[in-house]
Amino acid sequence: MARLVIVSNRVAVPAEGSGAVAAGGLAVAVKEAFTAYEGLWFGWSGNIVDQPSDEPTIIDRDRIQYALVDLSPQDHREYYSGFANRALWPIMHYRLGLGAFSRSDYAGYSRVNRFFAQTLAGLIEPDDIIWVHDYHLLPLASELRGLGIANPIGYFHHIPWPAADVFNSLPASGDLLRAIADYDLIGLQTEPDVQNLTRNLCDTLRAIPLGAGSLMVDGRRTRIRSFPIGIDVAGFKDAAEKAASDRTVRETIAGLRTRKLIIGVDRLDYSKGVPERMEAVDRFLASNPDQRGNVVYLQIAPKSRSDVPEYEQLAREVNETVGEINGNTGDPTWTPIQYVTKAYARPVLAGLYRAARVGLVTPMRDGMNLVAKEYVVAQSGDDPGVLILSKFAGAAQQLPEAILVNPYDRFEVAEAIRTALYMPRAERLARWKPMVERMTREDVDWWARNFLSELENFRTVEREPPTA
Ligand code: G6P
């Protein structure tokens, strides 16, 4: 059996004997990919040290070997906080105004990718297939090829791929486009993402389309396809059903009394539209005074990337918005917005989703958004809640029965909240059923299997002896 080598910036090493992985779409999804393979998972240890070693720390746990490297403070600042999260992240999410490009950050990004490649190359065996994840590592295949690694290398991009004009505003865009063509297979979340990258490669690098997603770029063949990431449906459903006995879930439900719960769960990131969503809730309460005191909006938003200035600024803005709305609209018996920055374990979240009549998932832009999928899967089949979903989330392509909204239009979102709260059970069921069925078919295992069989298939095709 071929060995699978996964590479990602974040690696979720489970605590010994627990079998559990940290929360977060990438970590859970990647773990799932290992069910069919023996594997190695390579990436950053999460530690910042003055003198990182060239030798990775190796940990063996539950059939997976983890190889972890530390970063220096400069690497972390330039590669992770700088280029990955202040240049690539905003550009990929269409937020040109928030992009901060610096040559030294880009040099740090390139240096860390080279360091990852050099450290990883020594661990690669001839039959391995390599699967690289996310925007931190766009040039990794190119660096590995430079070191003579000829194994199949696939890349999955978890976030949006923007229109060419947006991507090309990044000063390093040409280098990155050339580098990405060194992957044998490039997976994106949606068809529009595939079109954006394909058009950009054809227009900017004169790539030649060969049909069925294959392209010839600078004499190398690559393939671009969409593979929408899914969730562990069986596991999440089970967690939601069992969560009623959890203390936090029980007490939250008891505290609601007859009030209906509206829930939002996001990493505190400007792409998620948290303050905009709060303003929509405020608008809803202003235009539906009879609903004051009858609903509670719970926003769970664990802090993220706090050493990046734009995230610090967002945290302040959300604090102010919550304070203003609660101060202006609440009273001693009712606080309209409950805002929590603590991270909850997935089983607790599953229970809270199930208790919520409305799931409010309104990112300004999102590669997929797994909260939308989790909310749907957590609902009870007797009396499901309603999903309000941004049309700019990749998940909207697979969940058209949700109430789809433009997150920039707080009047539209406010109206959607009203529609959701008054929606009769028959309509809620009619919308929910096809969504949960699709999520069950297109789960995380389906995603990983599709990607990996396509990457394996590439190897079979490439290695066939030439016919006479
Ligand atoms: C997004 C990205 C992941 C990233 C995660 C958490 O989901 O696609 O690659 O790991 O956010 O962000 P962080 O910066 O904490 O790794």
Mean pLDDT value of segment 51-72: 94
Per-residue pLDDT reduced to its tens digit, 343-377: 999 999 999 999 999 999 999 999 999 999 999 99
Identify the residue whose C-alpha is closest to ligand 1 atom 9: 134
Per-residue pLDDT reduced to its tens digit, 184-229: 999 999 999 999 999 999 999 999 999 999 999 999 999 999 999 9
ipTM of the prediction: 0.99
**At residue 416, does pLDDT exceed 70?**
yes
pLDDT for the residue 25: 66
CA dihedral 186→142→77→39, nearest 10 degrees, is 60
Tell how far the Cα of 189 is from the centroid of ligand 1, in angstroms: 15
**At residue 460, does pLDDT exceed 70?**
no
Mean pLDDT of the chain: 94
**At residue 467, does pLDDT exceed 60?**
no
Tell how far the Cα of 244 is from the centroid of ligand 1, in angstroms: 29
Q: 85, 137, 267: which to mutate for ligand 1, most atoms within 8 A of CB?
A: 267
**At residue 23, does pLDDT exceed 60?**
no
Q: State how far the alpha carbon of 132 is from the alpha carbons of 5, 144, 344, 361, in Å.
A: 8, 11, 28, 28
**At residue 16, does pLDDT exceed 80?**
no
Q: State how far the alpha carbon of 281 is from the alpha carbons of 39, 170, 252, 299, 356, in Å.
A: 46, 35, 20, 11, 15
Confidence band for 468, pLDDT divided at 50, 70 and 90: very low
pLDDT for the residue 119: 97
**Considering the chain, what percentage of its residues have pLDDT values greater than 90?**
90
Confidence band for 158, pLDDT divided at 50, 70 and 90: very high
The ligand 1 atom at the shortest distance from the C-alpha of residue 8 is 9
Identify the residue whose C-alpha is closest to ligand 1 atom 8: 158
Rounded distance between C-alpha atoms, residue 313 and residue 115, angstroms: 32
SS3 53: coil
Tell how far the Cα of 183 is from the centroid of ligand 1, in angstroms: 21
